[in-house]
Structure 1
Amino acid sequence: MRRLLALIWLVVLLALTGHLAWKYHAGLQFSTDILALLPREAETPLLEKANQAVTDAVSRRVVLLIGDPDRATARDVAAKLGQTLATTGLVRLEADSLSGDRLKKLGALYFPFRHNLLSPRDRSLLLAGDGEEVATNALSQIYGFVGLTDARLIAHDPFLLLQSFLTQLPVPMSRLSLDDGMLTTSEKGITWILVTGTLMAEPFALDVQQQLIGPLDKKIALLRQQHAELQVKRLGAVFFAAAGSQVAMKETSTLGLVSTIGSVLLLLLTFRRIAPLWQNLLVVGIGAGAALSVSLFLFDHLHVAVLLFGVSLIGIAVDYGMYYYSSLFDPDCRTPEQRLRSVLPGITLGYVTTLLGYAILILAPFPGLRQIAIFSVIGLSASFVTVLLWFPLIDRLSPARHGAGMLHAAGMLWRFWEQPDHRVVRRILGAILCVAAVIGLLRLHADDDVRKLQSLSPDLLAQQTEIQRLIGSTTSTQFLLVHAADDETALQREEQLAPLLDELRSKGVLHGYQSPAAFIPSAARQRENRRLIDAKLNQPYLTQQVQQLGLPMPKRSDDNGAVLTLDRASAEDSVPFLGSLVLQPGIHVVMLDGLRDTGALRTAIQEVDGVRVIDPTGDYTILLSKYRYRAVWLIVVGVLLMMPVLIWRYGWLGAILVKAPSVTAITLAAAAIGLAGEGFTFFHAMALILVQSIGVDFAVFCAESGRNRQSVTMLGVWLATLTTLLSFGVLAFSRVAAVHAFGLTMLVGLIFAFLLAPVAGSAKPRRDWQNKWSQSGVRKRETKPLYSAIHDAGQVPSPGAGPEPRAGSGGWAGPEARAGHDAGPAIGWKD
């Protein structure tokens, strides 16, 4: 029967291999967006659309700032780099956002409605009755800057109201000016040219990053060889994502290599044979390959963190094979069937409990972590099935003849917890751990700031700061969402917001903002402006103004009070940035620059209907806090899910003994985080969930061990712990903050889980799992405890005598009870 099942499993693996090869040929897609790992609350379609629109506008922006002491060189390089970006086919350049052609389009759009438009400054002067100052300012501009004002415009607009409106539009990049068609600024003798564009593809896709940044880097390197003083600074999510993905991929290969080499050395040093090595590597390869194939089938693309966390699969999957081959050191397990039978209850319960731990991750509302959980569940399942079906068929090894000293050393920890001689030390150690746990838990504090999870390139951050300083712009992820029944109402609400935002700007809370109403005033505001111009400017000052300019009286407009609308502006595509500010009729976005106090903003606008502050970073932080609490409850859920299985196997007292090491390890790991001064995050909590499930594995192995197998069991637990630490522990050295938190918690928690695992040795199985084995004709033999066998062979001294566990209970019994228990491996099987 096993051969048939093994053949079926081979067919399944061949199918998965074929699917993986097909996906590889088609091109594997991995995401690098760290926010994909984070939760999203159920949002209305409106909020989702607004968030997506603003996120796309920010994340798809590509900015290059080219500087050189020679103006001509800077302009030439800017043109060449712009051409390089365009040649990739991934970037749409926005060189005309404030170019002469765009300004002409703006003028053509606004000119017919010039009698309706007022800059904030001119409007405030007219409202205050200072129309004469508006007229004087216009005269000073006309006479003071000859040649910059079109004479035809003066004839139609003698107060230069349209020019004032255009110059005071809330356009970002306030330090830039138009120099022969290029946005330019100068500082300390260096001319800086801005090149901007919009990425037409997903910035977090690895292939997009490679196709864009590769040619750009080559071109920049070539130009720097030609111009020694050339400086090129870059800004954009695609650059940050590429730097992060390089770190993640490098860490994946480095940490995976460390884990693999460590596991290989452990196997070679322990077994001194090639078969356990290649067979365990086979288990790891099958687990990882099956997990990747199924994950690619279930998801369109995987997050790169799946690969990084998938490194941990190496240390977990190999546990089953190593625990199986640790039976080589048991003289009672001479055949593959006996070896499998001796470890089957332990690896089965270990697999089930670990599976429950990863399955809980699937319940977490984090898309990236859900991928990691499914990847791990599939990989572990494939590894378990491979050990169960294939190892007895390919195992041709005889019992090991070495390892007496290694077995003796492995059993030292168990003897420490078991022998009365160490009772005082155990009590002192327990007291110290209790005090440390109390102090650490009291010092434990939460830190859910999502920004600390993003390990951004310091060099790119420095370039971002310098670019923002040079161009006079700041970036902010916060924005205001204006929701109304129609565009007119939305524009009026934005006009209500303007004085409130201006006050915040004067206080330094806000650097600036862009709203659709600043570009296209509401119809009500335009009509009010028209009346204000007639009453406060034209009637008292128009005749005098045109006389001073020597111009004929301008004709009165016959537009019958027509107003400029958003629909017209959008159709002509003349106003920059407007498309990203108007999502749909009545749904507008007010972009914020340099917001420093979200709370002050919320307070200031609370009286304006239909306006909501959207703060993705703050919202993610709040969600992380919420899901951190939920993750802690998931730990409780994990305990509740595991307890019925453990109670069925060991009884109430035995189940408590088996769970005690992992629960204690969780508590001590959390205390260690507090003692280290680190903020407790969602990722610490999720790591504790796995500490619980893997820690239960160690305890189950000990609980399933007969007294004659204690040293062999501890050797298997030692190997499992070391390989798990090599996989999970190395994640503590990751530069990705979330991965580091996860790995560090696993490192500390698993060490404690290992050290406490022998406590579960007092819990003995009370269920008969091996009845089918006895029915198949395999009979148990009378055996001596392993230590006695080794002692009789003259290899090591016999361990000290001490009280011994009563089979099937949490108490201790004398030799009478031991007689039946030592007759065979303590796994509950009968003849």
Structure 2
Amino acid sequence: MTPWHWQRTATPCRIRAAWFALALVAVLYCVHRFSGPSPLETNLLALLPATEANPVAEKAVDQLANALGDRTVFLVSSSDADHAKAAARRFGATLKESGAFASVTADLPPFDMAQIGALYTPYRFGLMTRDDRDALAHASDGDQSLRNALMQRVYNPVRGPLATQLADDPFGWLEHWLSDLPLATSNLDLDDNLLVAHRGDMTSVLVVTTLNGSAYESRVQRAVLTATAQAEASLHAAWPDATVARAGAVFYAESARRASEREVHLIGIASACGIALLMMWVFRSPRLLLLGFLSTALGIAGALSVTMAVFGKLHLLTLVFGASLIGEAVDYSIQYFVVYLGAPRDWDAQHGARSVRPALAVALATSLLGYAILAWAPFPALKQIACFAMTGICVAFASVMSLLPAMLPKGPRGPKGPKSTQRRAFARAAVLLTHWQRAIGAKRPWLVAVVIVVVCAPGWLLLTSDDDIHLLIQRDPALVAQENQVRDAVGIDNTAQFFVVQGASPESVLQRAEALGDKLDALPGDQSVDGWRSITQFVPSQKRQSDVHALLAQHVFDHPDSLRATLLQTGFRDDVARAWIDSFARNDTPPLTVERWLATPWSRPFAHLWLGAVEAKGARAYAAIVMPRRVTPSNLPALIATAHAMEGVAFVDKAASVSKLFGEYRLDSAMWLGGALLLVLVLMIARYSLRGGVATTLPVLLAIGVTLAAFGYARVPVNLFNCLALMLVIGVGANYAVFLREGWLRAGADIGAVWTGVLLSAATTLLSFGMLGISAMPALKSFGATLTLGILIAVLLAPMGMPAELPKEGRKHA
């Protein structure tokens, strides 16, 4: 049984009951989802598509985001060092008492640096810095060079925190290697068990926390913000001169969630109020107003429930865009009310639904076409928006076709009162339409089209583009400033651009990472990266360890008696010298491995450098990350070229990859746009014949052209989101010419009422989508500006699609 057959046979009571049941299920599901862990997706990276050709690179991006996402960093600063330290301790204690964090570290726990030396001492004959290797390999006077190195080691009073025992490391090669470990590459010093940075007369103390859950959960965000506010208030009460800067994904996620909720409320309330006023002004009926919003509410509830069921999470972008869907979803009920108000008292509700069904069906098809193209784009957020919108307008359409006839079984009441006022308004609208249609339509539509093209052509030539990733993500400037303050004080590594090194085994990965490090060190001048961080700085490859062992065997332990004499001459006891020489001879310790290093507690801050086993092209592989400390426009080409020249090495720049993808799909969108226009034209020709189909499609085609020309004249760069919004201009803007043509051809239709309904539909859509222009998110702002201008032009040019000569029964009020 088809839905329409069921509609004809079902009673109004049964239809209302069925819709009530569906609405109840949708609402209860939404309440269930929002009553538990928040379904809102506040992870901005989740909005982005997979941009790397290598899936291992995508995993590296995710692993870095996860490694840093559960940490928050606070920087407590004051011009008085004692105040800064005391304030940091109070701040950390307050955070710990709040229970909002899994851990809070202000005072560092006791740590025996000897643990690091203890790990590496058994492997000391395979560990040597590059400088020591080069000095040993190129020494021309072997014994004398060894003697000088030994004397410098014995009589050097300056020893670092990772000093080794003379008996285990007579020449200091292990100590040199330990000193090169990237354990203290930040700008912080250990002072009074606190990590302190001194900048001018300002002293800053670091407080590090880990979250009690995901940074993207609303519960965690609220707890962290509350605890931070309380800690800051406590700190300022005792030390007014102290300031706190913060950095962490949780703050950006909370800021994005709060901004989106604010925009949802603003756009939703403003749109609803504006639409209500417009509908009351035109229809003068609270009943029709409530029924129109009922249909829209059903669409929104259905869209929410289906989207969350399909995707699991609801992106902030979808939520904000969904608030603007009110204006489009209410269009179907507006067109139904126009037919209803022009009907006699004894009208047949089912006949009324059938009379408006062709226009609404064609409008629905064009709208679905526009959103279907959004669903094809590779952006998770756009796919979700498309699902939300397609579900919402389908439910709204179905409710207008079945529920509204059941709610309005009888025609409008008597001929006087508000209805006569509407008739006068409809008559004035018919006169206005007649004059406007004669000006741009009738027998001159092609002349008007040519004039518009001539005026727009220079604007098209002025078009430029901008594919920056920041079109999608707008971060809170205050948080960015605080994060930069933390980075400047601490010296945090660059985490946005890095190399991924891949190989068939851990050993091949380590060897390639070492080769990459050598190439990075060799970059000259402006191409230099000022150092890098890699797993190989903690765990050399087995080949490197074997090479060091061979180097020692050739240049140091090749003459054991001479080496022993050198040691004795500098004051070593004979048993100590003999024990060290014998330990090399009988050294059977296997090489140091990544697994052995990862088993130590102090390796955790650097564990993200090792990706471990990964799946690559269906085969098991291993991968690691190499992070350059400085990436600039001047050295970026050299870094990319270095990666291309090495097997198993890829340079990852997520922002640049997304921007590149934006550009590629912006160019592809021209084909999508042409294909969508062709499909709309075919649909219109199938409905209205060749001449009528072309005339009905012409307004939306010209609307797209005028919109693009306006961007060119205004020197506004075009981006992917402008192009995708043009798809919706096709889907939504084509509806107005369809509504007009269907109403004009409908027997006995009041053309003034039809034109009023078209203008009202356009006004509600413009009001909703136009509100996107106030969004803080540039992508939505681009959507809003493009849709507003495109739809405005489409509705103004819609009369071009009307027939020049009409049947008499279709010219009421004309």
Which category describes the TM-score, using the shorter chain as reference length? 0.7 to 0.9
- Do 2:150 and 2:570's aligned partners in 1 also have CA atoms closer than 8 Å? no
2:731 match: 693
CA distance in 1, matches of 2:658, 2:360: 39
Match of 2:373 in 1: 360
Q: CA deviation at 1:602?
A: 2.0
Aligned to 1:350: 363
Counterpart of 1:749 in structure 2 is: 790
- The one-letter amino acid of 1:749's match is G
Residue 218 of structure 1, aligned match among 221, 230, 234:
230
Rounded Cα–Cα distance in structure 1 between residues aligned with 2:147 and 2:237: 55
Give yes or no for contact 2:76–2:242 (8 Å, CA) kept in 1: yes
Task: Give 5+ residue unaligned stretches, structure 1.
Answer: 763-803, 807-817, 827-831
| Alignment CA distance shift 1:241-1:139 (3 Å) | farther
> Is residue 445 of structure 1 aligned with residue 479 of structure 2?
no
Residue 248 (1) aligns with residue 260 (2): yes
Question: How far does the alpha carbon of each residue in 1:688-743 deviate from its partner, in whole angstroms, 9 at most, with x for none?
Answer: 11110111110101111227632211111111111101110110121101111111
Partner residue, 1:370: 383
* Cα separation, partners in 2 of 1:343 and 1:161, compared to 1, 3 Å: same
Change (3 A) 1:46 1:605: closer
Partner of 1:717: 758
2:549 to 530, 540, 555: 530
Q: What's the CA shift for 1:604?
A: 2.5
In structure 2, the residue matched to 1:778 is none
Q: Distance in 2 between matches of 1:604 and 1:48?
A: 20
Q: Which moved more, 1:77-86 or 1:658-667?
A: 77-86
Q: What is the CA distance between 1:648 and its match in structure 2?
A: 2.5
Per the TM alignment, residue 291 of structure 1 is displaced from its structure 2 partner at its CA by 1.6
SS at match of 2:113: helix
The yes-or-no answer on 1:406 pairing with 2:410 is no
What is the deviation of 1:119?
2.6
Aligned-pair identity in percent equals 29
Could you tell me which amino acid in structure 2 is paired with residue 668 of structure 1? V
Q: C-alpha separation between the residues in 2 aligned to 1:155 and 1:357? A: 77
Provide the residue aligned with 1:384 in structure 2. 397
Paired residue type of 2:629: D
Q: CA deviation at 1:125?
A: 3.4
Does residue 704 of structure 1 match 2:732?
no
1:135–1:683 distance in 2 versus 1, CA, 3 Å: farther
Distance 1:541 1:412 in 2: 111
Q: Which amino acid aligns with 1:118?
A: M
Which residue matches 2:136?
126
| Equivalent pair of 1:705/1:825 in contact (CA under 8 Å) | no
Change (3 A) 1:61 1:28: closer
Q: Which residue of 1 aligns with 2:641?
A: 603
C-alpha change, 1:819 and 1:113, in structure 2 (3 Å) is closer
Residue 628 of structure 1 corresponds to: 666
Distance (whole Å) between structure 1 residues aligned to residue 199 and residue 498 of structure 2 = 31
Distance 1:100 1:512, change over 3 A: farther
Q: Compute the displacement of 1:92 (Å).
A: 5.2
Range with greater deviation from structure 2 (554-563 or 745-754): 554-563
- State the Cα RMSD in Å: 3.4
Contact 1:96 1:102 (C-alpha < 8 Å) held by counterparts = no
- The letter for the 1-side match of 2:257 is S
Alignment of 1:478-627 (within 5 A): 478-504=497-523, 507-533=526-552, 554=577, 555-556=580-581, 557-558=583-584, 560=587, 562=589, 563-584=591-612, 586-596=622-632, 597-627=635-665
- In 1, the alpha carbon distance for the partners of 2:20 and 2:604 equals 61
Partner residue of 2:618? Answer: none
AA in 2 matched with 1:38? L
Supply the distance in 2 between the matched residues of 1:437 and 1:249 (Cα, whole angstroms): 39
The aligned counterpart of 2:297 is: 285
**What is the identity, as a one-letter code, of the residue corresponding to 2:219?**
D
Tell which deviates more after alignment, 419-428 or 40-49.
419-428
Q: 1:342 to 1:464 in 2, by over 3 A?
A: same
Q: Is the 8 A contact 2:743 2:751 kept in 1?
A: yes
Secondary structure of the structure 1 residue equivalent to 2:197:
strand
Work out whether 1:665 is the aligned partner of 2:665: no
Pairwise CA distance, 1:286? 1.7
- Counterparts in 2 of 1:681 and 1:151: CA distance versus 1, 3 Å: closer
Distance 1:542 1:519, change over 3 A: farther
**C-alpha separation between the residues in 2 aligned to 1:139 and 1:465?**
46
Q: CA deviation at 1:643?
A: 3.6
Give me the whole-angstrom Cα distance separating, in 1, the residues matched to 2:156 and 2:241: 38
Cα drift, residue 404 of structure 1: 5.3
User: Which residue of the partner structure matches residue 270 of structure 1?
Assistant: 282
CA contact (8 A) 1:30 1:304 kept: yes
The AA in structure 2 aligned to 1:677 is R
Q: Is the 8 A contact 1:481 1:612 kept in 2?
A: yes
Q: 2:125 aligns with which of 115, 118, 126?
A: 115
- Deviation track 1:250-300 (CA, whole Å, cap 9, x = no partner) reads 111111111111111112222233222222222222221222122222232
For 2:254 and 2:736, locate their aligned partners in 1 and report how far apart those are by CA, in whole Å.
40
Taking the aligned partners of 2:665 and 2:183, their CA distance within structure 1 comes to 39
Residue 617 of structure 2 corresponds to none
* Whole-angstrom CA distance in 2 between matches of 1:473 and 1:446: 33
Instruction: Give the Cα separation in 2 of the matches to 1:12 and 1:731.
Output: 30
Distance 1:602 1:401, change over 3 A: same
Name the counterpart of 1:34. Answer: 44
Which segment is superposed worse, 691-700 or 32-41?
A: 32-41
CA contact (8 A) 2:189 2:197 kept: yes
Q: Tell me the distance in 2 between the aligned counterparts of 1:304 and 1:134.
A: 66
Aligned to 1:170, the other structure's residue is in SS state coil
Q: Deviations 1:164-215 (Å, cap 9, x if unpaired)?
A: 2222223464311222433222122332222334546432333332232222
Helix, strand or coil at the partner of 1:419: helix
CA distance in 1, matches of 2:179, 2:79: 29
* Inter-partner Cα distance in structure 2 for 1:97 and 1:633: 60
Change (3 A) 1:32 1:201: same
Measured against aligned partners, the alpha-carbon deviations of 1:634-679 in whole angstroms (never above 9, x if no partner) come to 3333334434432232111111111111122122222222333232
1:410–1:718: 8 Å Cα contact kept in structure 2? no
Question: Is contact 1:287-1:317 (8 Å) kept?
Answer: yes
In the alignment, the residues of structure 1 paired with residue 65 and residue 380 of structure 2 have an alpha-carbon distance, to the nearest angstrom, of: 18
Distance in 1, Cα, partners of 2:104 & 2:57: 28
The Cα of 1:568 is off from its aligned counterpart by: 1.6
The structure-2 alpha-carbon separation of the partners of 1:250 and 1:150, relative to structure 1 and needing over 3 Å to count, comes to closer
Q: Shift in Å at residue 403 of structure 1?
A: 3.7
Aligned AA (1:736): M
Does 2:675 align with 1:637? yes
Q: Any idea what the Cα deviations from partners look like across 1:23-42, whole Å, max 9, x if unmatched?
A: 33334410023332333258
Partner of 1:786: none
1:728 is matched with 769
Instruction: Give the drift of 1:139.
Output: 6.3
1:630 Cα shift?
A: 3.7
Deviates more, 1:108-117 or 1:342-351: 342-351
Distance 1:71 1:410, change over 3 A: same
Question: How far 1:749 sits from its partner (Å)?
Answer: 0.6
* Residue in structure 2 matched with residue 50 of structure 1 by the alignment: 60
Secondary structure in 2 matching 1:401: helix
Does the C-alpha gap of structure 1 residues 599 and 134 become closer, same or farther in structure 2, counting only changes over 3 Å? farther
Any gaps of 5 or more consecutive residues in structure 2?
A: 1-8, 614-621
2:307 matches 1:295: yes
C-alpha distance in structure 2 between counterparts of 1:373 and 1:735, whole Å? 21
Change in Cα spacing, 1:401 to 1:441, as seen in structure 2 (3 Å) is: same
TM, length-normalised to structure 2: 0.86
Which amino acid in 1 is paired with 2:248? G
Change (3 A) 1:621 1:87: farther
* SS, match of residue 421 in structure 2: coil
Aligned residue identity for 2:610? V
SS of the residue 2:245 aligns to:
strand
User: Quick one: distance in 2 between partners of 1:644 and 1:512?
Assistant: 61
CA–CA separation in structure 1 for the residues paired with 2:129 and 2:263:
54
Contact 2:267 2:324 in 1 (8 A): no
Q: 1:27 to 1:564 in 2, by over 3 A?
A: closer
- Name the aligned partner's letter for residue 767 of structure 2: L
- Whether contact under 8 Å (2:517, 2:532) holds in the other structure is no
Shift of 1:68: 2.5
Whole-Å separation in 1 of the counterparts to 2:554 and 2:564: 11
Residue-by-residue CA offset, 1:313-344 (whole Å, 9 max, x unaligned): 21011112222223466476874637545533
